[in-house]
Amino acid sequence: MSNIRRRQPTEAEKARIRKAIAEESQPEAIAANRAKIQKLRAEDQRAGTVAQRVVDLLRKRKDEEHLSLSELQARTGIDSGNLSRLLNADEPNLTLETVERLATAMHCTVHVTLQPDE
């Protein structure tokens, strides 16, 4: 059996802990923390998925071409609402056909390379 004695917090420490708990329990603090968590999760997902990296490249190219969604709709035949959802999704669901249509509309070609893990 261990003879570890735990020291009791001082009154000042107890007051500081109570104050921190009260502040973190405020609806504004809870909402801010949730927003931070969602942002971090979105960043993790964007950095990690192939689909998100492809969408990031498409979005960057769209910006370089100074294309509006309506212009992209006219070039691709894809509804502007669907384009907006695709280009802004945290977890995009796109096909190679869609990627090719978008790339062609933005004067690009698609090259897919598979490499073995090192």
Hey, where are the domains in the chain? 50-105
Whether the predicted pLDDT of 13 surpasses 60: yes
Q: Provide the pLDDT for residue 47.
A: 60
- Report the distance separating Cα 106 and Cα 76, nearest Å: 9
CB 72 within 8 A of CB 78: yes
Mean of pLDDT values over 22-51: 80
Mean of pLDDT values over 19-40: 86
Residue with tokens 């978008």: 102
Whether the predicted pLDDT of 46 surpasses 60: no
Mean of pLDDT values over 51-79: 92
Q: What are the residues whose beta carbons fall under 8 Å from the beta carbon of 84, sequence distance 6 or more?
A: 69
Q: Provide the pLDDT for residue 41.
A: 76
Q: Give the CATH number of domain 50-105.
A: 1.10.260
pLDDT tens digits along 79-104: 999 999 999 887 888 899 999 999 99
pLDDT tens digits along 47-63: 668 888 899 899 999 99
pTM: 0.57
Could you tell me what percent of the chain has a pLDDT over 90?
46
